[in-house]
């Protein structure tokens, strides 16, 4: 039995190097080519169908954002906006302080990026470039905080921040990043620092360089790609963060994008074109950023995910 499925699965080995000459009972070349085409067609049909399903929500979001409010609700559905209305965007931006939301988000991201870059790189250095008893045990302790549910620390922290008068500001979200709160970044940088040859540090030490000098002048410059990943991920984290601001930010003028976007759903559910214009405005920058930094992105994900 050579069902379509079997031939589909033979593809990887053929792609690697053709083992066919050594296999017994080799099918005729023509039949093999036919099977290859059939397998590749099957794969592409599956992939194209799935692509359509995955793309539909985004396509529909963008199309809706250019429609008039009644057209968005039209039944049967109108696929292409007619007229093609760009004015939803300026109208939405006039109705809600969107530029303010963007600015607040950038500020939040910018400050925490500084915090993460400084603290995570220092901590990662201590966990990778220096040898001390108990180092790896402490490192694993740090990793276990990854699985600690945030609700287990939330209430006492909220009370602490209230005493410090930080509620309503971004301080509860920013200060911890200066104290190594981004375990993911520390982990990623540590994995990267481990790959830098120890002999570089040793040579510098013989020349009398201080450890901070080695960190600052030797290791950090070599770790630029990993730092780029950390910056990118932190930016996306802040852009996405809903829960943090929801808990600590109450004043609408301090809202980040995530909370501002949530506002449209409550206020303008009658105008779906506006809601989708807001969603598109929040998504577009991230997608553009993704295309500009695709390599850093994909490598970074692979690095955090696979080197466990």
Partner 1 sequence: MKKWRQTRLGLLFISPWAIGFAVFYLYPFFATLYYSFTRFTGVGNPVYAGFSNYTELFHDATFRTALFNTFYYTIIEVPLSTAAALGLALLLNMNVRGQAFYRTLFYIPSIVPVVASSLIFVWIFQPSFGIVNSLLSDIHVEGPAWFFSIAWSKPTFILLGLWGLGQPMVIYLAALQGVPKEMYEVAALEGAGPWQRLRKITIPMISPVILFNVVLSLVLSIQYFTQAQVIEAPPGSPGNSTMFFVIYYYQQAFEDLHLGYASAMAFMLFILVLIITVLLLKSSSRWVYYENEER
Q: By CB under 8 A, what part of segment 220-279 binds partner 1?
A: 236, 239-240, 242-243, 246-247, 257-258, 261-262, 264-266, 272, 275-276, 278-279
Q: What is the total count of residues that contact partner 1 (CB under 8 A)?
A: 105
Runs of H (alpha helix) within the chain: 4-9, 11-16, 29-65, 69-72, 88-95, 98-128, 135-144, 151-163, 171-174, 183-194, 198-206, 211-213, 220-222, 224-240, 243-248, 257-267, 272-292, 294-306
Choice between 204 and 246, CB closer to partner 1: 246
Beta carbon of residue 66, minimum distance to partner 1 (angstroms, whole number): 14
**Among positions 88, 112, 119, 254, the unique one binding partner 1 when judged by CB under 8 A:** 119
The answer to whether residue 64 forms part of the interface with partner 1 (CB under 8 A) is yes
The length of the chain in residues reads 308
Beta carbon of residue 81, minimum distance to partner 1 (angstroms, whole number): 14
The two structure tokens encoding residue 231: 């910056």
Q: How far apart are CA 198 and CA 196, in angstroms?
A: 6
Q: How far apart are CA 185 and CA 113, in angstroms?
A: 10
Q: 34-62: b or e for each residue (b if 16 or more CB lie within 10 Å)? A: ebeeebeeeeeeeeeeeeeeeeeeeeebb
Residues 6+ apart with CB under 8 A from 59: none
Pick from 231, 244, 123: which is nearest to 180 by CA? Answer: 123
Per-residue contact string for residues 41-60; x = within reach of partner 1 by CB under 8 A: --xx-xx--xx--xxxxx-x
Beta carbon of residue 290, minimum distance to partner 1 (angstroms, whole number): 6
The two structure tokens encoding residue 170: 């971004």
Per-residue contact string for residues 276-295; x = within reach of partner 1 by CB under 8 A: x-xxx-xx--xx--x---x-
Q: Is residue 238 within 8 Å of residue 112, measured between CB atoms?
A: yes
Per-residue contact string for residues 68-87; x = within reach of partner 1 by CB under 8 A: ----xx-xxx----------
Which of positions 148-177 make contact with partner 1 (CB under 8 A)?
A: 148-157, 159-160, 162, 176
Beta carbon of residue 2, minimum distance to partner 1 (angstroms, whole number): 12
Choice between 41 and 86, CB closer to partner 1: 41
Q: How far apart are CA 275 and CA 109, in angstroms?
A: 24
Which of positions 88-117 make contact with partner 1 (CB under 8 A)?
A: none
Beta carbon of residue 240, minimum distance to partner 1 (angstroms, whole number): 5
Residue span binding partner 1 (CB under 8 A) among the ranges 84-92, 96-104, 130-138, 217-225: 130-138
Choice between 21 and 221, CB closer to partner 1: 21
Residue span binding partner 1 (CB under 8 A) among the ranges 27-35, 82-90, 218-226, 300-308: 300-308
Q: How far apart are CA 106 and CA 253, in angstroms?
A: 14
Pick from 63, 111, 95: which is nearest to 241 by CA? Answer: 111
């Amino acid at each position: 039995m050579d069902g379509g499925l079997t031939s589909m699965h033979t593809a990887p080995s053929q792609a690697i190097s053709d083992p066919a000459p050594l296999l017994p009972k080799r099918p005729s070349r023509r039949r093999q080519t036919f099977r290859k085409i059939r397998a590749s067609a099957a794969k592409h049909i599956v992939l194209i169908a799935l692509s359509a399903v995955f793309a539909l929500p985004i396509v529909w979001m963008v199309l809706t954002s250019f429609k008039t409010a009644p057209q968005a609700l039209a039944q049967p559905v109108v696929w292409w906006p007619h007229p093609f209305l760009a004015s939803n965007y300026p109208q939405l931006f006039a109705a809600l302080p969107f530029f303010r939301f963007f600015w607040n988000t950038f500020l939040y991201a910018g400050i925490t990026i500084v915090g993460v870059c400084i603290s995570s790189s220092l901590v990662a250095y201590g966990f990778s470039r220096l040898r001390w008893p108990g180092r790896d045990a402490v490192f694993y302790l740090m990793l276990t905080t990854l699985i600690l549910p945030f609700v287990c620390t939330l209430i006492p922290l909220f009370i602490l921040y209230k005493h410090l008068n930080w509620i309503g500001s971004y301080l509860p979200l920013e200060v911890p990043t200066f104290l190594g709160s981004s375990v993911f970044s520390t982990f990623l940088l540590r994995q990267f620092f481990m790959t830098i040859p120890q002999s570089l540090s040793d040579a510098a030490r013989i020349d009398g360089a201080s450890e901070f000098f080695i960190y600052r002048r030797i290791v950090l410059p070599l770790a630029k790609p990993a730092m780029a990943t950390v910056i990118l991920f932190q930016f996306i984290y802040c852009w996405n963060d809903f829960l943090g601001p929801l808990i600590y930010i109450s004043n609408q003028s301090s809202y980040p994008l995530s909370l501002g976007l949530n506002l449209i759903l409550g206020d303008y559910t009658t105008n779906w074109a506006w809601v989708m214009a807001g969603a598109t405005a929040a998504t577009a920058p991230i997608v553009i950023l993704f295309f500009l930094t695709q390599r850093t992105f994909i490598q970074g994900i692979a690095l955090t995910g696979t080197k466990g």
